Amino acid sequence: MAPVSTRAFSIPRPASSSLGINATLQRLAWLVGSLLVFAILWQIIAEFLQNRYLPTPVAVFDVLMREARNGELWKHTSATLLRVFFAFVISMFIGTAIGLVLGRYKTADRFFDAWLILFLNLPALVTITLCYIWFGLTDAAAVTAVALNKIPNVAVNMREGARSLSKDLSEMAIVYKFGWWKTLRHVTIPQLAPFSAAAARSGLALVWKIVLVVEAFGRSNGVGYKLTIAFQEFDVTTILAYALAFILIVQFIEFTILQPLQARVSAWRR
């Protein structure tokens, strides 16, 4: 969020935010270091066991490179990413809207609470199969199925956020005549931001896992589809290669977008 317009006052900001680059490097060092240790452990165990169903990370990496060169990797991950993106955006949007309404209006909350619990506990497999049966084996059905799994989750998070909106601060905004836009931007959204960030982070992880299931069931491209093919051939190396590719992508999004976003919305905390 941009600061209030006039920046006439030139007193340095508190130290925490001026350490930006250092803090990022440190975060990166921890991430790379811990993943490296994991890879080394895996390599040692795989070499020790010598089992064709547990390939070494080096072998997995070779397959990954091969798939990248022949274009298969890009084809399938991009298809998956597109589905993840749409499912994520749709579920964040609808889930937030539902959550805010339930958090603000007691009657709506009382009525829809049971629905929410129902959808929260509906197994992903059920929504997926039903969506395919009702809407056909299409991308729209696939994305809908994923969104339906994620929406209740986002709604529950945002409902907590809406419930915890401070009455003190909204009275302050009334007395100081903030108007609806200023109130939304400077009073309401900053209070909801931590809930939204939490929903986004847990959401991304959930969405991409369910997208793979949806693809395994009824799509002819995407990482999920590729994994089913590899499963039919008991090709563990390819399974791990694609899993690795996707983990790297999700880690990248987490590291470059979601974590900085969360750090930014909570910079003011003591």
Partner 1 sequence: MAPLNGMNVGTPIHVLVKRKTFPAVGDRQAQLVLRDVSFEVAPRSFVVITGPSGCGKSTLLNIIAGLDTDYEGEIDLGPAKDSLTFIFQTPRLLPWRTVYENIALVLPDGDPRRAEIPAMIDRVGLAEAANAYPERLSLGMQRRAALARGFILQPEILLMDEPFVSLDDPTATSLRELLMELWHSQPTTVLFVTHDRSEAIQLGTRILRLAPGEASVAQDAVVNLNEAERRDRAAVLAEQNRIFAAT
State the residues that interact with partner 1 by CB under 8 A: 3-6, 8-9, 11-14, 168-169, 171-172, 174-178, 182, 186-187, 190, 265, 267-270
In residues, how long is the chain?
270
CB of 11 to partner 1, least distance (A): 5
CB of 168 to partner 1, least distance (A): 5
Closer residue to partner 1, CB minimum distance, 8 or 114: 8
Q: What is the CA radius of gyration of the chain?
A: 23
Nearer to partner 1, 23 or 122 (CB): 23
Structure tokens at 33: 């270091």
Q: Looking at beta carbons only, is 151 or 162 nearer to partner 1?
A: 162
**Least spacing, CB of residue 260 vs partner 1, in Å:** 16
247: closest CA among 214, 212, 213? 212
76 with 215: CB under 8 angstroms?
Answer: no
Identity at 42, one-letter amino acid code: W
3-state secondary structure of 123: coil
Tell the smallest beta-carbon distance from residue 268 to partner 1 (Å).
Answer: 4
Closest CA to 210 of 135, 140, 118, 147: 147
Closest CB to partner 1 among residues 187, 261:
187
Nearest-approach distance from CB 190 to partner 1, in angstroms: 4
CA distance 79 to 211: 10
Which is closer to partner 1, CB of 4 or CB of 114?
4
Closest CA to 142 of 153, 155, 157, 131: 131
CB-nearer residue toward partner 1: 28 or 110: 110
Task: Annotate 237-267 with DSSP letters as a single string.
Answer: HHHHHHHHHHHHHHHHHIIIIIHHHHHHHTT
Residue 227 Cβ, how far from partner 1 at the closest point, in Å? 43
